[in-house]
Structure 1
Amino acid sequence: MNMPLSLLTALRFMSARRSSKMVSFISASSTIGITVGLVAIILVLSAMNGFENALKEKLLGVIPDAEIVTLQRPMSNWQGFQQQLSALEGIEGVAPFIQFSAMIVRGETLRALQLRGIELQFQAQVSSYQDYLQPAWPETLKNGELILGAGLAAALDVKPGDSVNVLIASNQGSLKAPKSYPFKVVALFRFGGQIDSISGYIGLPQAQAIKGNGDSVDGLELKVANIFDANRTAYKAASQLPVYVYVTDWMRTHGHVYQDIQMVRGVVYIVMALIIAVACFNIVSTLVMTVQDKRSEIAILLTMGASTRSLIATFIWQGALSGLLGVVSGVSIGSALALYLNQIISFFESVTNRHLLSADIYFIDHIPTVLRLDDVLLVASVAWAMAILSTLYPAWRASKIEPAHELGGH
């Protein structure tokens, strides 16, 4: 199949640009600009995808999807509520809990502690705590046994098998002297971030004994099928209960993490448009200079019978090919770097002996990346479309050249 005359002419003009160093430099700059822009955008979007994936798979695996607490504590008949909620659509698990604000003591060291009474057989249905325990998840938590956050254990210089004292107020919120309860640390909860530095878990029966409310609990923790619909699912489930309850979900407690990721993603799309726009401006400059440099050749083509449409197509082809080169190289380099970004960052961290993310602060200690085909296709399509749009003005300028004027000695 013969190539169109406009494409052949465009290829001829592109190969002839090397005679003009300025035009060649600006043309190369436009291609490199698109390449660099796409590489940066693909890397950032892949990192945002990775953080969002880590949020869903890791952080939301250990924090409650939703919690239901009766307005008048404690919650009696929680077993009946648990069975009722478990039968509802969209609810995958229900676990009782009791929450304490306490202090933990080891020698002369005193730290704040968010103590939670849990039933392990139910807790495993609503969270993945067991994946972060060292040693392995115990079958049950007996009286006097404690699972402690690894960050808190490090601050107290505690390891499994050591004993600690936990100070709990006789009546939460009262001014009475707190009672001291001895505990043996049986496992460490090593998740990362601030959760490690404040968390502790004891068996539900002992928590009920400390609370002094018989078989009652503070509330029920829910595991929902769709975490992004947790609020609606939890409220719908709570409306089925015969008592007034307070409902909270992960978006209220940790939703800022997800919102920050989405905000950064939106900013990246704006930056993407600006970067590609600057690169495409160089395409405009290149084609305008090409039109100026090839005025006589364009006039000859028009004299030989080339149509205005064919002439416009020539410069659209020229800009499209230049943009396509930048898009292909940018997508190729960006995708390759995104796939191996974690290894690249790990290498530089080992060389510089510095960690980009600290496990003491963040719930992950690396830059996660997830390369998505739809992101790559979107940024590539937008970049190439902008490159083609940038050819319209130079092509229009070329079509307005008058052969008689150009070949008449001027």
Structure 2
Amino acid sequence: MNMPLSLLTALRFMTARRSSKMVSFISASSTIGITVGLVAIILVLSAMNGFENALKEKLLGVIPDAEIVTLQRPMTNWQGFQQQLSGIEGIEGVAPFIQFSAMIVRGETLRAVQLRGIDSASQAQVSSYQSYLAPSVTETLQNGELILGAGLATALNVAVGDSVNVLIASNQGSLKAPKSYPFRVISIFKFGGQIDSISGFIGLTQAQAIKANGDSVDGLELKVTDIFSANRVAYKAASQLPVYVYVTDWMRTHGHVYQDIQMVRGVVYIVMALIIAVACFNIVSTLVMTVQDKRSEIAILLTMGSSAASIIATFIWQGALSGLLGVVSGVTLGSLLALYLNDIISAFEALTGRHLLSADIYFIDHIPTVLKVEDVLLVATVAWLMAILSTLYPAWRASKIEPAQELGGH
């Protein structure tokens, strides 16, 4: 099939040697600008997708999706509540817990800790905390057994098998000396970030004995099917209980992480539009200068019978092809860099001896990337459409050239 005359003419204009080096430079810079812009946008969006994915799969794997706590503690008949909530649509698991603050003593070192009494079998249904234990612990925690966060273990210089003392206040507001309980560390919990520096797990039975509340618990932890509906599902579940309860979910405790990711994503889209717009202004400049450079050729085409629409199509083709070249190169390079970003960053860290993300501060020690086809298609489509739109004014200017005025003086 023969190519349209306007396309052939556009290719001729693009490949022909220009009389002005400035036109060639601006033409190349417009293509390079689109390429660099798309590379940057694809890399940042892939990183945002990676952080969001890490938030869903890792952070939300160890923190509760939602919690239900009775207003009048402790929660009695929690076994019945657990069974009742397990049958509600949208809830995948329910686990009891007891939580209290304490101090851990090892020699002369003293550290604060948030102790959580758990039932190992139920906890495995709502949390993936066992994936971060070394060595692995799948059996029920016995009296005197403690799982300690890696940050606390390092601060206390404690290893698996060592013994520590846990100090717990006798009564809130009481002047009595705190009670001391001996524990043996049977595993280290290494997740990353501040969680490791404040967390400890003991058996639910011993936590009940320490609180002296019989068989009661502080509340129930929920695992939901859709994390973004955790609040709605938790409130629906709480409304079916015969007692007044307090409901909280991950959006209240760690929602700022997700909101920050979404805010950065929105900023990226704005920056994307600005970067591509700047590159497309170069296309406008290129075509305007090309029109000036090719006025006599355009006049000859009009004299030979080319219509104004054909001239407009010629310059639209030229801008579209220039934009397409930038889009294809930008998408290709950006996708390759996104796929191998971790390897590139690892090489950079090894070369400089510096880590971009510290596992002691963040819950991950690398920059995760997830390349999504829909993101690539979106930015590529927007960039190409903006490139095409930027051709309309120069193309219209070219169609208004008067052959008699251009060729009359030749």
Settle same-fold status: TM greater than 0.5.
yes
Query: What letter is aligned with 1:383?
Result: A
Distance of 2:187 and 2:36 partners within structure 1: 48
Answer yes or no: is the 8 Å Cα contact 2:134–2:189 preserved in 1.
yes
Displacement of 1:176 in angstroms is: 3.5
**Structure 1: which 4+ aligned runs deviate by more than 2 Å?**
17-20, 171-177
Once the two structures are TM-superposed, the CA of residue 170 in structure 1 deviates from its matched residue by 1.3
CA distance in 2, matches of 1:179, 1:107: 17
Deviation at 1:18, TM superposition (A): 4.0
Q: State how many pairs are aligned.
A: 410
Q: For 1:141 and 1:127, how far apart are their aligned partners in 2?
A: 16
Provide the residue aligned with 2:257 in structure 1: 257
Q: Which residue of 2 aligns with 1:132?
A: 132
Distance 2:123 2:75 in 1: 18
In structure 2, relative to structure 1, the CA distance for the partners of 1:332 and 1:173 (3 Å cut) is farther
1:408 correspondence with 2:401: no
Instruction: Output the CA distance in 1 between the equivalents of 2:200 and 2:241.
Output: 30
Counterpart residue number, 1:246: 246
Q: For 1:221-276, what per-residue CA distance to the aligned partner results, in whole angstroms no more than 9, with x for missing partners?
A: 00000001100000001101000000000000000000000000000000000000
Shift of 1:400: 1.1
What is the CA distance between 1:191 and its match in structure 2? Answer: 0.4
Residue type at the aligned position of 2:224: V
User: How does the TM-score come out when normalised to structure 1?
Assistant: 0.99
Which residue identity is paired with 2:379? V
Aligned residue number for residue 153 of structure 1:
153
Instruction: Return the alpha-carbon distance in structure 2 between the equivalents of residues 147 and 18 of structure 1.
Output: 73
Q: Distance in 2 between matches of 1:239 and 1:196?
A: 34
Match of 2:55 in 1: 55
Paired with 1:302 and 1:41, the residues of 2 have a C-alpha distance of: 42
- Which residue matches 1:284? 284
SS at match of 2:16: helix
| Range that drifts further, 250-259 or 164-173 | 164-173
1:22 corresponds in structure 2 to 22
Query: Match of 1:32?
Result: 32
Q: Residue type matched to 1:115 in 2? A: L
Q: Match of 1:119?
A: 119
Could you say which residue in structure 2 is the equivalent of 1:209? 209
Counterpart of 2:359? Answer: 359
2:294: which partner in 1?
Answer: 294
How far off its partner does 1:173 sit?
5.2
For the residue of structure 1 that corresponds to 2:68, the secondary structure is strand
Structure 1's unaligned 5+ residue stretches are: none
Amino acid at match of 1:95: A
Question: Distance in 2 between the 1:224 and 1:390 partners?
Answer: 48
Letter aligned with residue 218 of structure 1: D
Counterpart in the other structure of 1:368? 368
Check the 8 A contact 1:115/1:200 in 2, yes or no. yes
Question: Matches of 2:17 and 2:316 in 1, distance apart?
Answer: 16
CA contact (8 A) 1:17 1:290 kept: no
State the Cα deviation string for residues 84-134 of structure 1 (Å, max 9, x = none): 000110010000000011111111111110000000010000000110000
Aligned-pair Cα RMSD in Å: 0.9
Indicate the SS of the match to 2:110: strand
Paired residue for 1:337?
Answer: 337
Aligned to 1:273: 273
Q: What secondary structure does 2:188 align onto?
A: strand
**Helix, strand or coil at the partner of 2:365:** coil
Shift of 1:19: 3.8
Tell me the equivalent position of 2:395.
395
Structure 2 alignment gaps of length 5 or more: none
Q: Superposition pairs for residues 47-126 of structure 1, below 5 Å?
A: 47-126=47-126
- How far residue 379 of structure 1 moved from its aligned partner, in angstroms, is 0.2
Query: Per the alignment, in what secondary structure is the counterpart of residue 125 of structure 1?
Result: helix
Q: Aligned with 1:407: secondary structure?
A: helix
Q: Is the 8 A contact 2:287 2:315 kept in 1?
A: yes
| Percent of pairs with identical residues | 88
Q: In 1, distance between residues paired with 2:77 and 2:334?
A: 57
Query: What pairs with 1:216-227 in structure 2 (closer than 5 Å)?
Result: 216-227=216-227
Structure 2 match to 1:184:
184
In structure 1, the partner of 2:232 is: 232
Residues 276-324 of structure 1, C-alpha deviation per residue, up to 9 Å, x if partnerless? 0000000000000000111111111111110000000000000000000
Contact 1:152–1:197, Cα closer than 8 Å, also in 2: yes
Could you tell me which amino acid in structure 2 is paired with residue 231 of structure 1?
Answer: N
How many angstroms apart in 1 are the aligned matches of 2:310 and 2:20? 24
The separation in 2 between residues aligned to 1:230 and 1:385, in whole angstroms, is 39
Aligned to 1:168: 168
- Please tell me whether residue 321 in structure 1 is matched to residue 321 in structure 2: yes
Decide whether the 8 Å contact of 1:166 with 1:182 is kept in 2: yes
State the 1:175 CA deviation: 4.4
SS in 1 for 2:37: helix
1:405, CA displacement in angstroms?
Answer: 1.1
Tell me the CA shift for residue 138 of structure 1: 3.8
Contact 2:357-2:365 at 8 Å conserved across structures: yes
Q: Is the 8 Å Cα contact of residues 19 and 293 (structure 2) preserved in structure 1?
A: no
* Shift of residue 179, structure 1, vs aligned partner: 1.1
Shift, 1:76, TM fit: 0.2
Q: Point out the more displaced range, 166-175 or 346-355.
A: 166-175
Give a deviation string over 1:8-42, Cα, whole Å, max 9, x none: 11011111254421111000000000000000000
1:169 Cα deviation (Å)?
1.0
Separation in 1, partners of 2:332, 2:208: 59
